[in-house]
Amino acid sequence: MWWDKPLDTLSASEWESLCDGCGKCCLHKIQDEYSGDVWLTAVACEFLDPDCVRCREYPRRAEVQPACMIITPTAFPGILPALPNTCAYRLRWENKPLPVWHPLLHGGKQTQMTRCGHSVRDRVIGIEKMQDPEDEDEWEALIIPEWSDNGS
């Protein structure tokens, strides 16, 4: 299938279709200053629409959100630590198969992905819901280990 091809040979539409729409890359991350480990938290970027799990500013994302990860073939391998361990771009760059729940394997439907717990829908909050965004302990309590590279 086309998604088995190397990332840098995908067409623009294939590249966009490879994204599963999980939304995990749009979560705030925290990094251990000693180990360098990156952890995903349950706090979403302000531009992520929580209902459809799409970026409200996708064409302008680099402009409006300096922390946004712009994923391109040339962003590898440097971008790897910040990508969730299920990210389709990450898996294909590592020459691994897509997960069995990936929408491309289910006629474009996200039902299996959601059922298997890989969509941020209904699992994350906006930063305005935090009690104190300056509180490191609160951020640590919001880590989702199973979605982080350092998790399961």
Residues near ligand SF4, by CB under 6 A = 19-26, 45, 47-48, 55, 57, 61, 65, 68, 71, 84, 87-89
Minimum CB distance to ligand SF4, residue 107 (Å): 17
> Long-range contacts of range 30-33, CB-CB < 8 Å, 24 or more positions apart?
30/139, 30/140, 30/143
DSSP state letter for 99: P
DSSP state letter for 5: S
CA distance 22 to 123: 11
Minimum CB distance to ligand SF4, residue 9 (Å): 18
CA distance 110 to 67: 26
Give the nearer residue to ligand SF4 in terms of CB position, either 108 or 137.
108
- Residue 57, helix vs strand vs coil: coil
Minimum CB distance to ligand SF4, residue 65 (Å): 4
Give the nearer residue to ligand SF4 in terms of CB position, either 34 or 70.
70
Q: Residue type at 96? A: K
Minimum CB distance to ligand SF4, residue 34 (Å): 26
Give the nearer residue to ligand SF4 in terms of CB position, either 34 or 95.
95
Give the nearer residue to ligand SF4 in terms of CB position, either 63 or 137.
63
Dihedrals phi, psi of 41, to nearest 5 degrees: -110, 170
